[in-house]
Chains A and B, each alone.
Chain A
């Protein structure tokens, strides 16, 4: 690991100033960054520890939403009674990720900013356009069973690994950011970006910008929501495919819905086509199947991950049926 100097941020302004000067990284829980540093993938000269900044609370907003501090540990987010009651899919997604020990360490902002687990990205002896722009993408013809089927580019077929980000994208969460140029807010989806020809950029964050909070707007039917994750083993594994869905049903009709998919793209994938197809239509398996098919018709699977296309559609249909049958 490259030697680095360690600084503990006293306030946001000084933290941003250090990071904006370059060759520095913010340290949250470190569960991904420390590992990437050990692998030689991340080589910052300065680590700015932001875990003692006052971003460790979950507060009510005036609009009735929740403002989740960037430094809130994943386990505290999932344990919060308001999150569990109002947005079960968010609590379920968080506890579906990693292990108990890692959730105790990992922060909300760090979870959003974690890097892909694509094997080529994590192996510095291999080319990777995300790690080393212009070096190539061996995954496209190599090991890509668990990589993207939607929104990928010639340059990169990586997936975003977060479970938590999937319901946040469905909920239209807003990322609060402080940077050298002041503060701004970026809604999800829109915070993470598709790879295009700049796969080294996972998000729209500019150099030195620091995530300070994630705001979850109120959703009246959020209590009728679910996160469903398919993985290669029963626990402690990244999603092959996952679905976060919230459904507002009355008299057999879908009044409103929010849907996002995980494990299928470089971003948590908001299923806008499926949502539009479902809203105002019947809450039936046939309608759900049609909507899921419409969403996944955009997929361009690679040679060895085509199974994800029907898998994602089936998991989406089953999740919606479960939500109709719930309560």
Chain B
């Protein structure tokens, strides 16, 4: 059997970057290896984005970068200066919830809540993609304009897992806002 590669003894490399997070400028010194997810949670006390799989497969870490949904667990923080980052903490306007947040409450779209910040950020990004006319894998005519039905919502949200199985109500919440 081959041995584990020796990766433990090189010196860490740190870099100063200035992030724009939820409209605030946040200077931070990061290890080049650090992901946006770890920077948000460990350095900036923004613990809304969750670490589920840390491999880009579960979607719990989803945030918006320049308005687009991405996996913060696969995004190196050092790549992000000048980029505009929005986390679940930045969706509401003061005490006024984002329409998707209200819809998730109204339709009972979560149980344990662990995946919810990722679901919300993903849904915000996804509705913008539909508004821009982007096709999906279930869009019948890829050259035409997609219509947001339940199949489209399910396909477009497939990057966000919910182990409680709240999918039915998540689809309902998104339909309420997006349709």
- Which A residues have a C-beta under 8 Å from some C-beta of B? 1-6, 8, 27, 30-31, 34-35, 37-38, 40, 43, 45, 47, 49, 51, 75, 78-79, 81, 84-85, 88, 91-92, 95-96, 98-102, 104-105, 124-127, 132, 135, 234-236
Q: Which of B7-15, B107-115, B165-173 touches A?
A: B7-15
Q: How far is the CA of A159 from the CA of B156 in the complex (A)?
A: 26
Shortest beta-carbon distance from B45 to chain A in Å: 23
Q: How far is the CA of A1 from the CA of B13 in the complex (A)?
A: 12
Given A6-B15, A81-B143, A91–B135 Cβ distance below 8 Å? yes
Which residue of the partner chain, among A3, A30, A40, A91, contacts B74 with CB atoms under 8 Å? A30
Q: How far is the CA of A79 from the CA of B136 in the complex (A)?
A: 9
Which residue on B lies nearest to A99, using beta carbons?
B159
Q: List 7 A-B contacts (CB under 8 A).
A: A30-B74, A35-B55, A100-B126, A100-B129, A101-B59, A101-B122, A124-B2
B56 touches A78 (CB 8 A): no
Question: Which residues from chain A contact B129 at a C-beta distance below 8 Å?
Answer: 75, 100
A51 touches B70 (CB 8 A): no
Question: Which residues from chain A contact B136 at a C-beta distance below 8 Å?
Answer: 95
Interface flag for B71 (CB, 8 Å): yes
Interface flag for B133 (CB, 8 Å): yes
Per-residue contact bits, chain B 65-80, to A (CB 8 Å; 1 contact, 0 not): 0001111001110110
Q: How far is the CA of A34 from the CA of B154 in the complex (A)?
A: 27
Q: Which of B27-35, B84-92, B97-105 touches A?
A: B27-35
B5 touches A40 (CB 8 A): yes
Interface flag for B1 (CB, 8 Å): yes
Interface flag for B4 (CB, 8 Å): yes
Given A27-B76, A79-B135, A132-B2, A105–B10 Cβ distance below 8 Å? no
Q: Is the interface of B mostly helix, strand, loop or mixed?
A: loop
Shortest beta-carbon distance from B135 to chain A in Å: 6
Q: How far is the CA of A55 from the CA of B154 in the complex (A)?
A: 32
Which residue of the partner chain, among B32, B35, B55, contacts A3 with CB atoms under 8 Å? B32
Question: Which residues from chain B contact A1 at a C-beta distance below 8 Å?
Answer: 7, 33
Per-residue contact bits, chain B 126-168, to A (CB 8 Å; 1 contact, 0 not): 1001001111110100110000000000111111100000000
Which residue of the partner chain, among B4, B70, B134, B143, contacts A124 with CB atoms under 8 Å? B4
A235 touches B69 (CB 8 A): no
Interface flag for B117 (CB, 8 Å): no
Shortest beta-carbon distance from A220 to chain B in Å: 16
Which residue on B lies nearest to A226, using beta carbons?
B142
Shortest beta-carbon distance from A106 to chain B in Å: 10
Which residue of the partner chain, among A35, A85, A95, A235, contacts B56 with CB atoms under 8 Å? A35
